Amino acid sequence: MIQLHDLTFTPFISEEKITRSIEKISRKINEDFSGEKPVFLVVLNGAFMVATEIIKRFDGECEVTFVKLGSYEGTATKGTVDTLIGLSHSLQGRQVVVIEDIVDTGNTLAALDRILKRHQVAGYKIATLFFKPAAYQQAYPIDYVGMEIPNDFIVGFGLDYDGLGRNLTQVYKLKEETMTNLVLFGPPGAGKGTQASVLKEKYELIHISTGDVFRYNIKNETDLGRHAKSFMDKGQLVPDDVTIKMLEAEVDKNTDAKGFIFDGFPRTVAQAEALSDLLAKKNTEVSAMIALEVDDEVLVKRLLERGKTSNRADDADEDVIRHRIKVYYEETAIVKQYYLKQDKYYGVDGVGSVEDITERISKVVDSLQKKN
């Protein structure tokens, strides 16, 4: 795998296969233009590598000219061609071979067709190393195709992602998203910690508890820990950007993870949006918010029982317990609505044995993974 900017790409087409495709195109061009002197029109920037390989295999005389047509921003096509660097040769009455690195929507070909007709060429043919039939929206025939490929975003052999990757001698495609990322919620006493431990083992997920992350950074006096502590010492809330940086550091420690369980975060819409932005940079997203739902009276009973052995003062006072439960619902109500609007909220009955509750959650997780 390779990393370009913020995205990960996996090997897709080998250098050997690319060479075989170029040789196939070159043989056909030599057959069709034997004894002629065509103009090779190279579409920049991506076609420079394939053009070099095709032109050096041409047996006769030829001329080469370049045009630049822009249709990409990042990984998305804009749908229109709006950048042109002018032709350097007169094309009137000439036979032209257009060399493209890739043909997807065909918008570039539409622009070239207008240009070539305006210059009154005798005729032209299109050669491309890669062709995406599923994306093609035009009717122009493509005369020489190296290989047909799926509608994936690719880099290498002249193709780039925001300026990087053109020099790669094989082709890579954007890594497919198969991660399962869960936001796990539950009121005090719902058994969220127990379920997180089971789920991380069953699905090989990384459990990230906001509380644990804070304690680790503060105890080890990391830069982020010291920064967070400076707010806590003043009795102030730690800013969201500090918290999200701590979480990002944890995510970055596990680049090959199958997914994450986020425990205790997000608590606000702003935090949910920050988490979404963080995961988007890693080419993934929150799969679901799973909330354990338990009746208040059951929670109170559980916590009072736990308080007999936990030595926690907040587990021994019923008024304190009820206040904690009330705060939980107040804090999570807006976040619940945030994920409901995205059809990512799943309420799970949190009453029953640990095994029964795990089975209910597992049905949700399994359904998410089937979608991937």
Q: Look-up: residue for tokens 């939980």?
A: 328
267, 301, 344, 360: which one is catalytic?
A: 267
17, 24, 173, 306: which one is catalytic?
A: 306
Is residue 166 flagged as an active site residue? no
Q: What are phi and psi of 349, to 5 degrees?
A: -60, 120
Pairing of strands 144-148, 72-73: unpaired
- In order of 111, 185, 247, 347, 358, the CA distances from 266 in angstroms are 48, 9, 11, 16, 22
Which tokens belong to 159?
């193709």
Q: Where are the alpha helices (DSSP H) in 175-295?
A: 192-202, 210-219, 223-232, 240-252, 269-281
94, 125, 132, 192: which one is catalytic?
A: 192
Is residue 192 flagged as an active site residue? yes
- How many C-beta atoms surround the C-beta of residue 318 within 10 A? 12
Q: How many CA atoms lie within 13 A of 310 on its CB side?
A: 13
78, 202, 253, 312: which one is catalytic?
A: 312
Is residue 27 flagged as an active site residue? no
Give the span between the Cα atoms of 122 and 124, in whole angstroms.
7
**Which of 336, 335, 337, 315 is closest to 324 using CA atoms?**
315
Report how far apart the first and last C-alpha atoms of the chain are (Å, whole number): 20
Per 3-state DSSP, the chain is made up of helix, strand and coil in percentages (nearest 5) of: 40, 25, 35
Contacts of 350 (CB under 8 A, 6+ apart): 186, 190, 191, 292, 293, 294, 357
Q: Look-up: residue for tokens 């890669």?
A: 130
Which tokens belong to 67?
């045009």
Q: Which residues are catalytic?
A: 192, 267, 306, 312, 324
